[in-house]
Each structure stands twice: as C-alpha cells, then as structure tokens.
Structure 1
Amino acid sequence: MTNERTMPAPTADERTMLEGWLDFHRRTLAWKCEGLSDEQLRTAAAEPSDLSLMGLVRHMADVERSWFRRVLTGEDAQPIYWSDENRDGEFRLTEADTWQEAHSTWQAEIETARRNAARFGLDDITEGKHRRTGERFNLRWLYTHMIEEYARHNGHADLLRERIDGATGD
C-alpha cells in the first residue's frame, strides 16, 4: 500500500486544520482499499456482520451526502445506498456492486461537500436540519463530526484490510 496522505501543518489556522484532518482521513480510507479486487473489497468482516471495505466507502458516500447536502445546505438529496426499508443497504453488497461505482460515487460526494462547505464560515449555521432530531449545526461541528466518523470507520478498515491480506499501517 502506498501512503499519499498529508497531515495538516501543526501551526495551520483552524479551518485549514479541520479541512486537512478531514482530507487525511478520507485519504486513509481510500488507502486501506488500494490494490484490492472487487471480491476482496466486498469481503465481510466476520459472520454475521456485513461490514466490508466497499460497504464502508458506500456508507461514507451517504454520510458525506447527508451532512454536506441535506444538513449543511438543506438540499433534498435522498440517500444513495440505504432507505428506511433497507437501513443497512450500503453494506448489503452483491456481485453486481463494483469498486469503480462505489469509489466514483464517494469521490463525487466529497467534491460536492468541499464546494458546499466553501460557501460557509466555521460559525455559520446550517441551512438544513438533522433528519431525526431537527437540530442545526455550525460548520465547525460538521467538520469535527466528520473527522470522528472517518476515524472510527478507519479503525474498522484497518482490521478489515489486515484480515484480507495482512497489510497493516497507521
């Protein structure tokens, strides 16, 4: 596995640091998936779990969409992979699900997230609300939450990758 991640400068301003750490964690997940076949990326952690690297990428595409489209801008963007009837749809993979589609969708959501966030200051309040709680947030909270979300799932990705081919790394 190659590692093209860059940590933000230790003296960066707050926004640069938050965006830098979020991008670091986005790249970490991509790195954990690097060089694997679709079959390997669909490999579940252990019965009965459906957790897989491809599922994590699909999950993060939906998470990016939820926070940076629905909550931040108030856009009526429906989930990509899950629904109220299929709450874990992003993890329920079939042979038809490909890395190319999952990765492309995830990267498109990241680019949209960057564009949408660029319109807001760290203290600006979201235009949309959380779908379950109705809460609004500032952009600083969204960035911090997304860093936490990626960091947690990158821990899962570490274990999944090690199980697949023994590769480890921070």
Structure 2
Amino acid sequence: MTTERREPALNADERTMLEGWLEYHRQTLAWKCEGLTDEQLRTAAVEPSPLSLMGLVRHMAEVERHWFRKVLTGDDPGPVYSSDADPDGDFHVTGADTWQDAYTTWQTEIGHARHNAAGLALDDLSRGRSRSTGEPFTLRWIYTHMIEEYARHNGHADLIRERLDGATGD
C-alpha cells in the first residue's frame, strides 16, 4: 500500500481547510508506517520511551474514538486498547499485536469520525463536556485539537522511523 498525502487547498473555506489538514496528518502517520514489518512497527526505537509506530496508530485510534464518538455524539463504546488496569494499553504493544489489526481499527475509527462530523456545522456543540470547565466543545475546537494531536505524534513518528531505518521526510 502506498499512502498518497494530499496537501490541503491554499484557498479553501474554513471547514474544508480544517478537514484537509486533519486528513493530511492522518495520511502522514500512515506514510510513516509504510514499508515496515510488524516487528519494526512494534519496536520502541527512541529509548527510554516505550513509543512505537504501532502504539502511535493504536493511540490515534483511541483518540479518534474518544473525540468523535464519545465527546462529539455521546456514544461511548469504551476504549479499544486501554483499561482501568492499563490506561496506556494503546501504547503497550506485544508480539501478538499486528499492523493489520491496528490499521483496521484506526481506519474504522476514522470512518466513524468522518460520519459523525459530516452533518454538523463547525459551531455545533458536542454532547460531551470539558472536565475542567463543564462546557461543550464546538466541532471546530475538536478538529483543531485533532490536528494538533496528530501533528505532535507525527513528530514522534519522525524520530521513531528515523531510528528504525534512517528514513526521514516531512
């Protein structure tokens, strides 16, 4: 599989711009994982951090699920990888975990995210509320937060990938 990253339009309206940047960062994470074996994708290559590329993908599946299902719509299917006993279970990959399973879960959550946001305006409010203020979030805020979340973790992915096989890129 070859990931094609599309730069967001330079002159789009706000919604198209936000969705374009979110898609670009989703594609960037997939691109950072391309061409590696399951073993490489499970490797925590930047010691002492336990982060791996597969762990980042699993984490982003959880993040997509949280913001676009639990917070935005009030649907709470529960976490995929994390639990009370292991709140960072998304990052704790084992030899039994496969790229295909992680990728499929991630893409499923992205599909839910797209579907749940599709009929909403940027100023529409979430059903879930901020733990600190008690206020709901706008879809605009969620999009912006997701872009920030992916951008930060794509920086981690850059470092991990470079340590694994020397590959670099924007």
Q: TM-score range by the shorter chain?
A: over 0.9
Q: Which moved more, 1:143-152 or 1:119-128?
A: 119-128
Partner of 1:56: 56
Unaligned runs of 5+ in 2: none
Q: Determine the C-alpha separation between the residues in 1 that align with 2:129 and 2:80.
A: 19
What whole-Å deviation, never above 9, does each CA across 1:21-80 have from its counterpart, x for those lacking one? 000000000000001000000010334321000000000000000000000000022011
Q: Determine the C-alpha separation between the residues in 1 that align with 2:24 and 2:103.
A: 16
Q: Determine the C-alpha separation between the residues in 1 that align with 2:129 and 2:98.
A: 32
* 1:148 maps to amino acid: E
* 1:38 maps to amino acid: D
State whether structure 2 residue 85 is matched by structure 1 residue 85: yes
Work out the percentage of aligned pairs sharing the same amino acid.
72
Partner of 2:45: 45
Q: Give the TM-score normalised by structure 2.
A: 0.95
**Contact 2:50–2:91 at 8 Å: present in 1 too?**
yes
* 1:12 maps to amino acid: A
Q: Determine the C-alpha separation between the residues in 2 that align with 1:74 and 1:90.
A: 22
What whole-Å deviation, never above 9, does each CA across 1:101-160 have from its counterpart, x for those lacking one? 000000000010000001210000002234x44441000000000000000000000000
Aligned-pair CA distance for 1:2: 5.6
Partner of 2:26: 26
Unaligned runs of 5+ in 1: none
Q: Determine the C-alpha separation between the residues in 2 that align with 1:86 and 1:37.
A: 26
Q: Give matches, 1:21-170, under 5 Å.
A: 21-130=21-130, 132-133=131-132, 134-170=134-170
Q: Determine the C-alpha separation between the residues in 1 that align with 2:142 and 2:53.
A: 23
* 1:95 maps to amino acid: G
**Contact 1:129–1:135 at 8 Å: present in 2 too?**
yes
Q: Which moved more, 1:53-62 or 1:135-144?
A: 135-144
- CA distance 1:80–1:123, shift in 2 (3 Å): same
Q: Determine the C-alpha separation between the residues in 1 that align with 2:10 and 2:123.
A: 22
Q: Determine the C-alpha separation between the residues in 2 that align with 1:108 and 1:141.
A: 22
Q: Give the TM-score normalised by structure 1.
A: 0.95
Q: Determine the C-alpha separation between the residues in 1 that align with 2:14 and 2:7.
A: 14
